[in-house]
């Protein structure tokens, strides 16, 4: 864990274009439910909640700077429809009031989430992909130890878990 760095005004992340890459889990298994084909187009939702298992794994990987972090005692699960073609994930900028679609800066604020942490992007075939926006602490999928590559779309399947910050897990589901 590292506190997200403030980006100066006018900072624009570089956009890298290319074909989405499949990321394999250790042992060669693909992310997603075993044997489940990608979901067909339709309504999708994001279920946002603190995740104790992810938090404990993150604490075990982190240095002493994470020692003061505690999992929130109470944080209700949020269910958000994935509308449009792009959903932003991050924290509200207090200086401008600019807020992402999934605002993890609301109490209890996840201190490990960058202002522009990640995107959920709808693909032409209707499935969704996650794209890390070169966040300070990275984005992992389905409990993986290694963060995904910044600016590279990673296709998601029904039930995949996107981990950001110190304790937040966003589970994507077909509605």
Most confidently modeled range among 22-31, 80-89, 103-112: 80-89
The answer to which of 2-6, 89-93, 108-112, 127-131 has the lowest mean pLDDT is 2-6
Is residue 101 very low, low, confident or very high in pLDDT (cuts 50, 70, 90)?
very high
Largest Cα–Cα separation, the chain = 46
Give the rounded percent of residues in the chain with a pLDDT score beyond 90.
57
Question: Has residue 82 got a pLDDT over 90?
Answer: yes
Q: Are 47 and 79 in contact (CB under 8 A)?
A: yes
Mean pLDDT calculated for residue range 81-105: 92
pLDDT higher at 172 or 42: 172
Class of domain 44-68+75-167: mainly beta
For residue 7, pLDDT over 70 is answered with no
DSSP state of 8: P
Q: Do 117 and 135 form a contact (C-beta atoms < 8 A)? A: yes
pLDDT given at position 1: 58
In the chain, what are the domain boundaries?
A: 44-68+75-167
Residue 102 is predicted with a pLDDT of 96
Predicted TM-score of the model (pTM): 0.75
d(CA 97, CA 139) in angstroms, rounded, equals: 24
């Amino acid at each position: 864990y590292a506190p997200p760095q403030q980006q100066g005004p006018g900072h624009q992340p570089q956009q890298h274009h290319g074909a989405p890459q499949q990321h394999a889990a250790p042992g060669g298994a693909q992310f997603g439910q075993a044997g489940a084909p990608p979901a067909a187009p339709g309504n999708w939702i994001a279920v946002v909640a603190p995740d104790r298992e992810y938090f404990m794994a993150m604490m075990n990987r982190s240095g002493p700077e994470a020692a003061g972090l505690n999992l929130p005692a109470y944080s209700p699960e949020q269910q958000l429809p994935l509308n449009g073609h792009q959903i932003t994930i991050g924290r509200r900028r207090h200086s401008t009031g600019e807020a992402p679609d999934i605002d993890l800066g609301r109490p209890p604020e996840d201190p490990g989430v960058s202002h522009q942490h990640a995107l959920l992007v709808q693909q032409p075939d209707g499935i969704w992909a996650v794209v890390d926006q070169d966040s300070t602490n990275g984005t992992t999928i389905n409990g993986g130890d290694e963060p995904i590559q910044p600016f590279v779309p990673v296709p998601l399947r029904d039930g995949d878990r996107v981990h950001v910050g110190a304790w937040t897990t966003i589970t994507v589901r077909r509605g």
